[in-house]
Amino acid sequence: MAVRAVRGAVQLERDDAEHMRERVGELLTAILERNGLAPDDLISVWFTATPDLHSDFPAAAARALGITDVPLICAQELTVAGAMERVVRVLAHVETGLAKADVAHVYLGAAAALRKDIAQ
């Protein structure tokens, strides 16, 4: 097994706690499924949210999925003029047998425009 980093992002339609839990939960589920991972494979997960999102912690979505024994942390994304709004980003550290080139980074919806070079 190796330690790998998996990236992902999702743009929310609105700043609403339930909507955030749904969309971030969808993102985390897609990251796990596309990489053949289980919650036990997670080492830690970093979440960032753009400054216009403040209704809840993105990590609450992980807890709602039953990811309860993994260190999670949330931070605020930099305020950059012209940056996409209402975006939650994820950086998950995982144990996996995947080669770096085989890791599927997941960018859902409009957030796919953020990293066309690695979005799958």
**What are the mean pLDDT values of the chain's consecutive 10-residue runs (120 residues total)?**
97 98 98 97 98 97 96 96 96 97 95 73
* Residues linked to residue 44 through DSSP beta bridges, in sequence order: 93
- DSSP class of residue 101? G
Beta strands in 15-86 (DSSP E): 42-49, 72-76
DSSP helix/strand/coil, 119: strand
Which pLDDT score, from 0 to 100, does residue 118 have? 62
**CA 66 to CA 52: how far, in whole Å?**
27
DSSP helix/strand/coil, 26: helix
Which pLDDT score, from 0 to 100, does residue 120 have? 55
